[in-house]
Structure 1
Amino acid sequence: MTMEEIKSKTRQYLGKFFNGQHLNDYDDIFATGVVNSLFAMQLVMFIEKEFGIEINNNDLDLNNFKSIDAVSTLVASKSAVTG
């Protein structure tokens, strides 16, 4: 899986919560006020299921989940990513 594929899947998932609002890959999704800490747990569950990785306690840093870029970097670091 490539970084762009990870970003695309993450963007698609986040789009369900942002009602068509455009998100740049670097936008802080928590700063928008649209999402909250409960959403953060839903996002973790999505990442684990969608990308087949395990998020452990060391990964549970808000900075790993605050943007599409951050999520992609985390997923890439925990899996075999091409390109």
Structure 2
Amino acid sequence: MTIEQTAASAVTAETVASTVLGFLVERTRTTPEVDQDLFASGVVSSMFAMELIVHLEKSFGVSIVGGDLKLDNFRSVRSMTALVLRLRGDSAPAADG
């Protein structure tokens, strides 16, 4: 999903989670659960987290800076979904998967 597609359609927890999961599957060749700790399970490294940040910023038109750059915001698909929704000002709960 590109920023143009995202801007043209409503961003929901389901669309964010689906986009993040798609990116993870493509890049890591694994299919994590939405609540899986991506760092503890070895799916994501701190270096790969930077790619996740860039992906989220480009896909959803958000800026992730300052206090939002903490690891807990990228620990799971659910936490990344919540971060994107909060930064966009959306209040929908994170997807259950």
Letter in 2 for 1:10: V
In the alignment, structure 1 residue 26 sits paired with structure 2 residue 32: no
Unaligned runs of 5+ in 2: 1-10, 93-97
Count matched residues.
82
Give the structure-1-normalised TM-score: 0.89
TM-score norm. by structure 2 comes to: 0.77
Sequence identity percentage? 34
Q: RMSD of the alignment, in Å? A: 1.4
* Larger RCO, structure (CA 8 Å, separation 6 or more): 1
**CA offsets 1:36-59 (integer angstroms, 9 cap, x no match):** 111011110111100000001110
* 1:7 to 2:7 alignment: no
What's 2:68 paired with?
A: 59
Q: Is the 8 A contact 2:38 2:75 kept in 1?
A: yes
Q: Larger % of helix: which?
A: 2
Unaligned residue ranges in structure 1 (runs of 5+): none
